Structure 1
Amino acid sequence: MKLPEAVAAYVAYKQSLGMRFATETRTLKSFYRVLGNIDIREVDADRVYAFLAGNGPVTAFWHRKLSALHGFYRFAIARGYTTSSPLPLTVPKEPRTFVPYIYSREEMKRLLAATADSERCNLSSLTCRTLLLLLYGTGLRIGEAVGLNLADVDLYSGILCIRESKFYRTRLVPTGPDLTLVLVQYAAERNKWPPLSPDGAFLLTERGRRLSRAGAEYAFKQLRERAQVHRDDSARYQPRLHDIRHTYTVTRLLSWYREGADVQRLLPQLATYLGHVDIAATQHYLTMTPELLRQASLRFERYARGGDDHA
């Protein structure tokens, strides 16, 4: 069997189980595009390693690609497409977990100010500014924001309907009065462009097309450079558009700590709001920044001294 056919069969099998399987599908399609339309039994260890390593060092992405290939080859061997796996037996140690970047209020102000200059950008100033405020005000994933249709944005009630997001779940996200006003102002301009049908995209490019995730990330990279927002630590990557979601979450948690709220009781609500299926993903944020750790430590010290703060 040809490698692309085997990949297609595996993807179809996973999706038949109700899995979105989007990231793994992209990885496996990249795998057969690199190796070509060859028989699956012709794939050898050297070709696999070249695909995994590329031109760079071992990263978390390297391990994610290997994980996708492990699942694929277990399936392929079980179905009789091949008799053995060419995957490496010795796996390099996975690098330190990536630490997201948390934008300061000043950095967000600089980014928003930079949207006034949309030169060499595939987005209008208004679309770029609206996207940033939407992500900063709701903590949406990028794909959720660009996937919004006109019917999903209830400007009267200030509610966004996030349909079948990362884990095939639909949820409602309130926007608040300030962000709702931003969306109303954007909609007034956006509605001058077709399509105006309910399934028409809410966020559009300069050419009136639906904004893609790749297009949004490219525009943000240009914007970040104009705003001179850079990462000064030893991290391999510069601040990303997706880090605005992390910034939203950390900001919300810090606000709760400073208000004296019961953070542990509120975590399940935050998990639902963010679209997490497991509260552990939300709890991870509690150790993400020194300031959050400090606030948690202060809260515990007051609790240990017999105060009425929640631990």
Structure 2
Amino acid sequence: MHEHVQDYLRFRRALGFKLKWHGRILPQFADYLEAAGSATITDELAIAWAQLPTRVHPITWTQRLGVVRGFATYLKTIAPATQIPPKGVFPGQGKRPDPYIFSEQDITRLLGATSTLATPLRAATCRTLFGLLAVSGMRISEALALHRDHVDLDSGILTIISAKSEAPRLVPLHPTATTMLGEYAELRDRLRPRATATTFFISHRGTALLHGPVMAAFIQLTAQIGIRTETTKPRIHDLRHSFAVACLLAWYRSGDDVAGHMPALSTYLGHINPAGTYWYLSAVPELMQLAAQRLQTQADLAASS
């Protein structure tokens, strides 16, 4: 079973997937099968193994079982006796949280509120970081991982090293975004000329910027401008969602070929599977309505011809 696991990981990685988490837990699953005396995957053993972590949200069990499901699908082509664990075993299966879609006014107020943060560098870092996420749709992990040589201020192109793929992607920016990054870099180097971090975004101490303090600032600022309430809890990732939705809305409203633009948007966002981009059509009611209207218009034209 361990040999099959390694073959599966090599196969998937050759397609561009890093699979760091898969590489850690699938050998553990193989150990579990061997300890149980089973030479193949069964639904019962897979489900039991997925539930080994205690005091976790069921989504963790779902994710563990999903990893096994992918491996089992591969293994069944070699060993027909392999059982592929079913979906929907645990509560909360696969449901994404509804995104909070930031309006332009929300983003303007969020960036403006950063001036209230404790130090000038912290304020500038959060303002530039949140602004970059809003205009590029980058993941927060990608932005925090940016090194100085990943940001080409001359060409206005970022090089993104994603945790989800071996291949880097290039993200061109609007000139105004490049100017914003240049101004931050100048301020950063002036305020912390001896910074120890090689990352583009740094803390007020000159060290690499970490997710925890960024999240704390985001929570503080969204509450301060009144969009965070007991029932509405925007996430940093929602800036990425808002970027994608804004692109799609603009294309639909202007009558552009949305389907033709989708591959470009998927590539820009770093979606390995285009389904991740098409999800926005069903996640936002206005987009679903526009898509339905477009389909109805096309159907009417086809019927009239």
TM-score (norm 2): 0.73
Contact 1:256–1:263 (Cα < 8 Å) also in 2 = yes
Gaps (5+ residues) in structure 1? Answer: 1-5, 32-39, 74-89
2:79 aligns to what?
A: none
The offset of 1:246, in angstroms, is 0.8
1:54 aligns to what?
A: 55
1:128 aligns to what?
A: 126
- Alignment-mate amino acid for residue 110 of structure 1: R
The offset of 1:165, in angstroms, is 4.5
1:298 aligns with 2:293: yes
1:249 and 1:137 mapped to 2: Cα distance?
A: 10
Change (3 A) 1:271 1:114: same
Structure 2 counterparts to residues 1-311 of structure 1, below 5 A: 14=9, 17=13, 19-24=17-22, 49=51, 51=53, 53-54=54-55, 58-59=58-59, 61-68=60-67, 91-95=89-93, 97-98=95-96, 99-119=98-118, 124-192=122-190, 193-194=192-193, 200-230=198-228, 238-306=233-301
Contact 1:161–1:172 (Cα < 8 Å) also in 2 = yes
Contact 2:152–2:158 (Cα < 8 Å) also in 1 = yes
- Alignment-mate amino acid for residue 306 of structure 1: L
**SS at the partner of 1:306?**
helix
Contact 2:223–2:229 (Cα < 8 Å) also in 1 = no
Change (3 A) 1:139 1:106: same
Contact 1:231–1:239 (Cα < 8 Å) also in 2 = no
The offset of 1:55, in angstroms, is 6.4
Sequence identity of aligned pairs in percent? Answer: 35
1:25 and 1:225 mapped to 2: Cα distance?
A: 39
1:27 and 1:112 mapped to 2: Cα distance?
A: 40
Contact 1:190–1:202 (Cα < 8 Å) also in 2 = no
TM-score (norm 1): 0.72
Change (3 A) 1:137 1:27: farther
User: CA deviation digits over 1:14-35, x for unaligned, max 9?
Assistant: 479454234457889xx9xxxx
2:242 and 2:134 mapped to 1: Cα distance?
A: 7
Contact 1:136–1:244 (Cα < 8 Å) also in 2 = yes
Change (3 A) 1:25 1:125: farther
Change (3 A) 1:266 1:231: farther
Contact 1:15–1:21 (Cα < 8 Å) also in 2 = no
1:35 aligns to what?
A: none
The offset of 1:206, in angstroms, is 0.8
Change (3 A) 1:295 1:64: same
Contact 2:50–2:62 (Cα < 8 Å) also in 1 = no
The offset of 1:304, in angstroms, is 2.7
- The root-mean-square deviation of aligned C-alpha atoms, in Å, is 4.3
Change (3 A) 1:229 1:62: farther
Contact 1:140–1:245 (Cα < 8 Å) also in 2 = yes
The offset of 1:264, in angstroms, is 0.2
The offset of 1:112, in angstroms, is 1.5
The offset of 1:70, in angstroms, is 7.7
1:238 and 1:26 mapped to 2: Cα distance?
A: 32
